[in-house]
Amino acid sequence: MNILDIATRTLPLLDLTSLNDADDAFSTAALCTKAVTAVGHVAAVCLWPSFVPQAKRCLTGTGVKVATVVNFPGGSLPAEKVVDQIARALADGADEIDVVMPYAAIMAGMGGDQRAADHLLACRAACGHATMKVILESGALAKPALIARAAQVAVAAGADFLKTSTGKVPAGATLGAARIMLTACRDAGRAVGFKASGGIRDVETAGQYLALADEICGPDWVSPATFRFGASGLLDALLGVLGQGPVMPVTTGY
């Protein structure tokens, strides 16, 4: 793939993300405006739960989904609290839920896998038909065996996507972790997607992840239903390659 092909392929796979402490109604409006460009729209915006209603109003009719995060970023909340977060987000109009699995339980061993599984099963039930992306925090798990175990737990608990990272720990997405997780997606026995998130900022790096997905899951597997990039700055890089600076405005909704 040349860089133009990579950019064209990547843009509709993007979960345009803003999870900053300083986010507000104005930054949310700006994020939603950027999501619809002159060369197409991104897959979703991903933002804090409190901004879901605004984003939903802003993006109605655009084809852009609204995603939010729960049990974020530490993955340490009790299941009942996370279930409540999910219920509130769905009531506010969220289409997709990115839930941090209790990855510390995986790292602890001694029954931790089952504790993580029970937690995610409760989240799955709360999500209903909404897309559930499970964040493994692969940078914290670090060891290939732990990443593989976390992926297996998430798949068994009903994850629709395996996602690498929150972006809140020093190590984000890596190709090594992606290989393990994509292999788990391929071998799941049902449709499970993959989301690379954390530190992907340029088109060339995006191309490396697409090539890896093609290698492991097949050249026709990647689509917005099966593959996402979670990023903020990547969109500007894509638009630069595609020769599109300005974005098309949409109703702000605040």
Specify the 3-state DSSP secondary structure of 227: strand
> Residue 182 belongs to what H/E stretch?
helix 175-186
Residue listed under structure tokens 């209603």: 53
Residues 6 or more apart whose CB falls under 8 angstroms from that of 54 comprise 25, 28, 29, 32, 253, 254
Q: State the catalytic residue, choosing from 34, 56, 133, 195.
A: 195
Active site residue 202: no
Active site residue 133: no
CA 250 to chain centre: 23
DSSP labels, 34-103: HTEETTEE-SEEEE-GGGHHHHHHHHTTSS-EEEEEESTTTS-S-HHHHHHHHHHHHHTT-SEEEEE--H
Active site residue 143: no
- Is the distance from CB of 141 to CB of 108 less than 8 angstroms? no
Side chain identity at 117, as an amino acid letter? A
Specify the 3-state DSSP secondary structure of 199: coil
Q: State the catalytic residue, choosing from 15, 95, 98, 160.
A: 98
> How many angstroms separate the CA atoms of 66 and 228, rounded?
13
Measure the N-to-C terminal CA separation of the chain; round to a whole number of Å: 41
> How many angstroms separate the CA atoms of 188 and 11, rounded?
26
Q: State the catalytic residue, choosing from 163, 168, 220, 236.
A: 163
Q: Which residues are catalytic?
A: 98, 163, 195
